[in-house]
A and B are shown apart, each in its own frame.
Chain A
């Protein structure tokens, strides 16, 4: 399985600011995904990030609010822009193992917006 790290592990931010979350994988992967998990809730897919192309966003999520970068096959960033308290969530990146059709998750970034 892939080893995935995320930075920061947690942060407390002020309303109106932006935070960029990093996701690093120990091997090259084709697909990287960003999920949001609101308190006590399940995981919701924000977008799929492919290297060399724009991210594909799910219904309810837009690029201006959640810009994503995917500069290479081992790294991606998600920015949460112009934050409000409603953005307080755990943000998780995952990678798809194209060999096994399985997804592995990073440890998550716990964001609190005041």
Chain B
């Protein structure tokens, strides 16, 4: 089945620094999604990518869908303390004939921001 390799596993950065994390896969996905999970909460969708090569921004967040549809990166600019959390990439595909958009998640990147 599909697997997503997400890196780095964890990051410690100074407030104000930029952050970059990425995911790669051996399989092609139709959609890439980036989520953030705070402690005790469910994942919150940050950015969704639908087209190969697509570059999308959401405030200080920028994400790109790789041209091969097998990878994606997420950048956070000028980090602030509330950026702390676990960031997950997720790839979505539709199994042939099933009509179900299943998600496969990466293992997450734990971000710590030092004030």
Would you call A96 an interface residue if the criterion is a C-beta within 8 Å of the partner chain's C-beta atoms? yes
* Complex contact B106–A42 (CB within 8 A): yes
Distance to closest chain B CB from A56 (angstroms): 7
The residue from B1, B48, B104 contacting A102, defined by CB atoms under 8 A apart: B48
Query: Given A102-B48, A107-B41, A108-B41, do A41 and B103 touch, yes or no (CB 8 Å)?
Result: no
Query: Given A56-B100, A104-B45, do A42 and B40 touch, yes or no (CB 8 Å)?
Result: no
> What is the count of residue pairs linking A and B with beta-carbon distances less than 8 angstroms?
60
Would you call A43 an interface residue if the criterion is a C-beta within 8 Å of the partner chain's C-beta atoms? yes
Would you call A112 an interface residue if the criterion is a C-beta within 8 Å of the partner chain's C-beta atoms? no
Interface residue range, chain A: 20 to 34
Chain B residues with CB under 8 Å of A100's CB are: 48
| Binary A-proximity of B24-36 (CB < 8 A = 1, otherwise 0) | 0000001101010
Would you call A78 an interface residue if the criterion is a C-beta within 8 Å of the partner chain's C-beta atoms? no
Chain A residues with CB under 8 Å of B44's CB are: 105
For chain A, residues 57 to 97, give those with C-beta under 8 angstroms from any C-beta of chain B: 59, 92, 94, 96
* Complex contact A43–B43 (CB within 8 A): yes
- Which residues of A are interface residues toward B (Cβ below 8 A)? 1, 4, 31, 33, 41-45, 48, 56, 59, 92, 94, 96, 100-108, 110
Query: Given A42-B108, A45-B103, A48-B102, do A101 and B31 touch, yes or no (CB 8 Å)?
Result: yes
A-B contact pairs, 29 of them (CB 8 A): A4-B42, A31-B100, A33-B102, A42-B106, A42-B107, A42-B108, A43-B43, A43-B88, A44-B105, A45-B102, A45-B103, A45-B104, A48-B100, A56-B98, A92-B42, A94-B42, A96-B101, A101-B30, A101-B50, A101-B92, A102-B33, A103-B33, A103-B45, A103-B103, A105-B42, A105-B44, A108-B40, A108-B41, A110-B40
Nearest A residue to B107 by beta-carbon distance?
A42
For chain B, residues 1 to 47, give those with C-beta under 8 angstroms from any C-beta of chain A: 1, 30-31, 33, 35, 40-45
- In the bound assembly, the distance between CA atoms of A104 and B101 in angstroms comes to 12
- In the bound assembly, the distance between CA atoms of A46 and B102 in angstroms comes to 11
* Complex contact B41–A101 (CB within 8 A): no
* Complex contact A101–B45 (CB within 8 A): no
- In the bound assembly, the distance between CA atoms of A112 and B104 in angstroms comes to 25
